[in-house]
Amino acid sequence: MSRNRAIGMLSIFAVATVSIFSFGIAATSVYAANDPLIDQQWGLTIIGARDVWSQSTGVGVTVAIIDSGSGPHPDLDANLILGHSFINGNESSDSADVDSHGTHVTGIVAAVNGNGIGISGVAPNARILSIRVFASGNENSNSEDIAKAITFAVDAGARVINLSLGGEVQVVRITDAVQYAVSKNVLVVAAAGNGGPDKPPSWPAADDNTIAVTAIKKDQTFTNFDRRGDYIDLSAPGDDILSTRTSEFTCSGFVPPALYGCSQGTSFAAPFVSGAAALLFAARPNLTVAQVRSLLMSTAIDLGSPGRDTTYGVGLLNLPAAFAALNALFPIVSNPMIAADGRVNSVVTGTTPTLAVSPQLQWYRCTSAGVVASAPPSGCAPITSAVALTYQMTVNDLRKFLRFA
């Protein structure tokens, strides 16, 4: 059986009345765009986030934001889980933001969609684990605190870690923590760094185990603050980015309401990729870090010089193309239905959803009910010549279970 078929189940007992069963993987409902600021979010549009919400909104995936904290904020609170802080060797559960940077990052990843206020995140149903590693907005973070935060995020169940921070020196303990994350199938996304093209590589973005993200403007060109280097992997929106804040910031062309504002920097490009990764992990929880990385990078829109370059990496994040590649690797399971009254000589009918190609059909006789599957479970045998939408039950089906693929 190919992976794009689901097998429906129907219990058959002599004269029992049988209900209609429906099994398979259902797509997530398309979200209504009733967040009043969503049309100001040019970044969502350019990466195609809204085009893939019918397939995934990040449900079931936790993204760790290791930053200045996050919230509280009315457009985030529903997606925030109990956070943590690592400040100068001290730990606590206080992860409230100290200067808006982390809140801005968090909103890009997972601001609540459809609540009638503000904006939407790339993965609006992802959960956010906020981990604060900055004592205040004007202080640097301790590298040991960052390493502990990464390890904590992995052990707490995060699938994606966002690091919108960095320095110009590789720190072994952070490198080791990133390696630990990858070994546990956790994707680490890092900002490629600001300061302009003459600056050296930023760490941990320069670590091969991270996805290093640089920033582009609305016209898909580089900004004057982007660093350069062969360590840069992907480009994402990072200029005049509207998101949640706990302090006021203005935007180009309009005045945002309180608790929202615009910022620029690779710090705000990285969370677009973190949100995109959350969507992929939610769509296919068994994906590996290597697979998600490949899906994101192999489908990017090439920018600048042909091929990978030191300015844009492989190019601009492209979610519709990433999901097209995902669905080619793992076809979406169809959702068959079965209708019958359960009597011998009665005709049972299998119904298929609308498919792009004509489906191959098969009825099976099984010794147990089993669960929905994309291949025939053990104890199921195909019924010879039962390859149409309908099948007439016989005495051979007594005390058996019919399944339709």
- Beta-bridge partner residues of 353: none
Which entry of 35, 56, 67, 70 is annotated as an active-site residue? 67
Tokens matching residue 221 = 């060109």
Return the structure tokens found at 57. 């909104």
Sort residue 286 into left (φ over 0), alpha (ψ -120 to 50) or beta. Answer: alpha
Residue 250, classified by CB atoms within 10 Å of its CB into exposed (0-12), middle (13-18) or buried (19+), is exposed
> Which single residue is written with the structure tokens 């005045």?
255
List 70, 120, 235, 267, catalytic entry: 267
Largest CA distance in the chain: 80
Distance CA 210, CA 182 (A): 9
Instruction: Give the DSSP H or E segment for 292.
Output: helix 289-298
b/e per residue 272-297 (b: at least 16 CB within 10 A):
bbbbbbbbbbbbbeebebebbbebbb
For residue 67, indicate whether it is catalytic: yes
Position of tokens 């060797």?
Answer: 89
What are the structure tokens assigned to 391, written together?
A: 């099948």
Q: How far is CA 152 from CA 10, 24, 126, 155, 372, in A?
A: 46, 35, 18, 5, 35
Residue 211 CB neighbours (<10 A) = 25
Is 104 a catalytic site residue?
no
Q: What are phi and psi of 171, to 5 degrees?
A: -110, 120
Across 354-390, b (16+ Cβ under 10 Å) vs e yields: eeeeebebbbbbbeeebebbbebbeebeebeebeeee
H helix intervals, 142-265 = 143-155, 172-183
Catalytic residues: 67, 101, 267
